[in-house]
Amino acid sequence: MIEQIKGVFADHAEVVRKSEEELSEKLIEVCNIISNCITAGKKVLLFGNGGSASDAQHIAAEFVGRFLAERRALPAIALTTDTSALTAIANDYGYEMVFSRQVEALANKDDVVIGISTSGNSQNVLEGLKAASQLECKVIGFSGNSGGKMNDICEFNLVVPSNVTARIQEVHILLGHIICMSVDKSLI
Ligand X SMILES: O=C(CO)[C@@H](O)[C@H](O)[C@H](O)[C@H](O)COP(=O)(O)O
CB of 50 to ligand X, least distance (A): 2
**Residue closest to 31 by CA, chosen among 161, 153, 158, 120:** 158
Other residues' Cβ atoms within 10 Å of the Cβ of residue 38: 20
- Rounded to whole angstroms, the Cα distance separating 71 from 54 reads 24
Q: Applying CB under 6 A, does 165 fall inside the site for ligand X?
A: yes
Q: Applying CB under 6 A, does 50 fall inside the site for ligand X?
A: yes
Q: Applying CB under 5 A, does 51 fall inside the site for Zn ion?
A: yes
Triad 161, 165, 170: Cα angle to 5°: 75
- Rounded to whole angstroms, the Cα distance separating 166 from 172 reads 10
Q: Applying CB under 6 A, does 80 fall inside the site for ligand X?
A: no
Residue among 11, 22, 33, 51 that touches ligand X (CB under 6 A)? 51
- Residues 9-48 as x/- pattern, contact with ligand X by CB under 6 A: ----------------------------------------
CB of 77 to Zn ion, least distance (A): 22
> If you write DSSP's letter for every residue of 124-138 in order, what string do you get?
HHHHHHHHHHHTT-E
Contact (Cβ atoms closer than 8 angstroms) between residue 116 and residue 142: yes
Q: CB nearer to ligand X: give 51 or 75.
A: 51
Q: Applying CB under 5 A, does 75 fall inside the site for Zn ion?
A: no
Q: CB nearer to ligand X: give 57 or 122.
A: 122
